[in-house]
A and B are shown apart, each in its own frame.
Chain A
């Protein structure tokens, strides 16, 4: 049965190997230059305040083609599980039913349970290996960028902490969970709908919806968020941006003093009593003041501080494990459903 599974999986596996090879080549060709830029930036030996300037310089060097390459590689890792769910998962059962070959496949001297177990194992494990392989290669390539972030490079797509969505979802072990889940989702959709194309559409819709819902509504609650109330100061270490529209006051934090790499869930102005405020104190509404250093000191003098709810960086790995475990558990549940459905003589 394993031999049959490999025989039937040949084309897809070759496609995957070709994609992996192309990805590896692209990163292998550009990676050394990126690493040399980092080495030349002097960031590896810097101390204190000088790091900030050096990081800024490095950031300016890698803007442009490296930003594009970075976003492309991250996009590829994010998309791979969806592509696997669509093209490996959805047809696995649906195409057998659609073409009638299920009568051939399930009338050899191999039970359906075994047939499905071998198929799920060979294709599913390959799916996980391919996705995690892409992720590991990209992590190697992007390592200089990650080190620059730790040294205080300004914000930008290349310099976000590893807890932000694009990085959290493409590094560590989460790609394993996504790949397994998307694949199982595709197989289940195919078993339920019995048509490959509609099953692909449903797989894509459900997977994308979950990938959007996860960072927005589910992941923030893996652990109770920590809260910090900090002084409103301009610059990268505190309120990253303040907006003044009419008299509406918004403060958006991009980092927290003493909490590098924290995942900021929400932030906003509070008054001296710690209550949220949404309007700018009248004293600070002088035209043209918004965003200037004077504006921040005015807010501070009015007792305005910034409250931030966040997940500290030390929860990165617990969150990685939790999310991966959730997706793997969902994948196993879907696989279990497929076994049950197949045993109950779907044909």
Chain B
């Protein structure tokens, strides 16, 4: 399906804002998510993840700023709609339409519809074609919604908290189905979640969004390689080398524990160096305030 510039960002936003009456769901958000990745969009509740994804899908119009998806305005024409798949948080399907009806709907409304993929997926998932949407379990509904989004053969798939309401088994099956689709190639995915464990399994790119602002973004492997937990005798973080950015810090009377970001080696022999997990990294950035200062309580490593 891909026909426009391959280097166009999956999502590019500039000064993006969405206001509901008096409250801003997303405010002054600027980000660029490269294509060709499975991107985990993480952040606390209320960070604006859902709003960002709904803006990207064209379900909402921005109050301020701009957003482009694969280089074009979201949902601006049928071609753009065909390139982007969206599965909303509640993975709603039509209660009175059967599974087979849903697949027919997909075939009627999408020129790039892959009917064999759709039927293969529903068969593998054990979805009864005659079963109505209203009687599907949460996991089956999510799978049906994902099937519809995948079988239209989009270039970009947007998934808003797709597994939040699923039990662990359904969650694993959903993510496995997603990974199989990604493995076939050519598909970028942006999925939001506040469950880092799920992201760890599927994502190769991470965006941490807190209060509409991107705290950190990058490929997961690079992020893990450049972040370290340092433990050693108590010292002022200001004395660290210039290339070591302190993300979080905590101190006891005798000891300092720092989470630092650096691309270079850490040479100081007084530090005990440990790798960080993706969860540590996400939590560290989420606990940082917007100006870079840390808001953890004393003695608590974030």
- A residues neighboring B (CB under 8 Å): 1, 3-4, 7-8, 11, 99-104, 106-112, 114, 344-345, 347
The distance in angstroms between the C-alpha atoms of A235 and B92, with both chains bound, is 69
Q: Is the CB of B112 within 8 A of A106?
A: no
Most chain B CB inside 10 Å of its own CB: which residue of A3, A110, A344, A345: A345
Query: Are B109 and A100 neighbours in the complex by a CB distance under 8 Å?
Result: no
Give chain B residues whose Cβ lies under 8 Å from the Cβ of A3.
Answer: 104, 108
**What are the residues of chain A within 8 A of B86 when measuring CB–CB?**
103, 107
Q: How many A-B residue pairs have CB under 8 A?
A: 82
Query: B residues engaging A (CB < 8 A)?
Result: 54, 57-61, 75, 77-79, 81-82, 84-88, 90, 92-97, 101, 104-106, 108-112, 145, 148-149, 152
- How near does chain B come to A92, taking the closest CB pair, in angstroms? 14
Complex contact B75–A4 (CB within 8 A): no
A103 lies within 8 A of B88 (CB): yes
Q: Are A7 and B97 in contact (CB under 8 A)?
A: yes
Complex Cα distance, B54 from A347, in Å, reads 9
Nearest CB in chain A to that of B148: its residue:
A104
| CB-based closest 3 A-B pairs | A100-B92, A108-B109, A103-B88
Extra contacts besides A107-B75, A345-B75 (9): CB < 8 Å = A4-B105, A7-B97, A7-B101, A100-B92, A101-B92, A106-B75, A108-B110, A111-B77, A345-B58
Question: Inside 8 A of B101's CB, which chain A residues have their CB?
Answer: 7
- Residue pairs across A and B with Cβ atoms less than 8 A apart, 14 shown, are A7-B104, A8-B97, A100-B88, A103-B59, A104-B145, A107-B84, A107-B85, A107-B86, A108-B152, A109-B111, A111-B77, A112-B75, A345-B60, A347-B59
Assembled-state Cα–Cα distance A261/B60 (Å):
56
Given A7-B97, A106-B59, A99:B108 Cβ within 8 A: no
Which chain A residues border B106 with CB–CB below 8 Å?
Answer: 108
Q: Is the CB–CB distance between A347 and B60 below 8 Å? A: yes
Question: What CA separation (Å) do A197 and B110 show in the bound complex?
Answer: 32
Q: List chain A residues, Cβ under 8 A from B90.
A: 100, 103
Most chain B Cβ neighbours within 10 Å, of A103, A110, A112, A347 = A103
Nearest neighbor of A101 in chain B, beta-carbon distance: B92
- The residue of chain A having its C-beta at the shortest distance from the C-beta of B76 within the complex is A111
Query: Contact at A345–B59, with CB atoms within 8 Å?
Result: yes
- Nearest chain B CB to A343 CB, angstrom units: 9
A107/B77 contact (C-beta < 8 A), A101-B93, A345-B58 known: no
Q: Give CA–CA (A1, B108) in the complex, Å.
A: 7
In the complex, the answer to whether B59 meets A109 with C-beta atoms within 8 Å is no
Q: Please determine whether A111 and B59 come into contact, CB atoms closer than 8 angstroms.
A: no
Contact B77 A1 (CB under 8 A): no
Q: Which of A1, A112, A347 has the most C-beta atoms of chain B within 10 angstroms of its own C-beta?
A: A347
Chain A contacts for B149, CB-based, 8 A: 107
Alpha-carbon gap, A18 to B96, bound state (A): 20
Identify A109's interface contact among B82, B95, B96, B97, CB under 8 A: B82
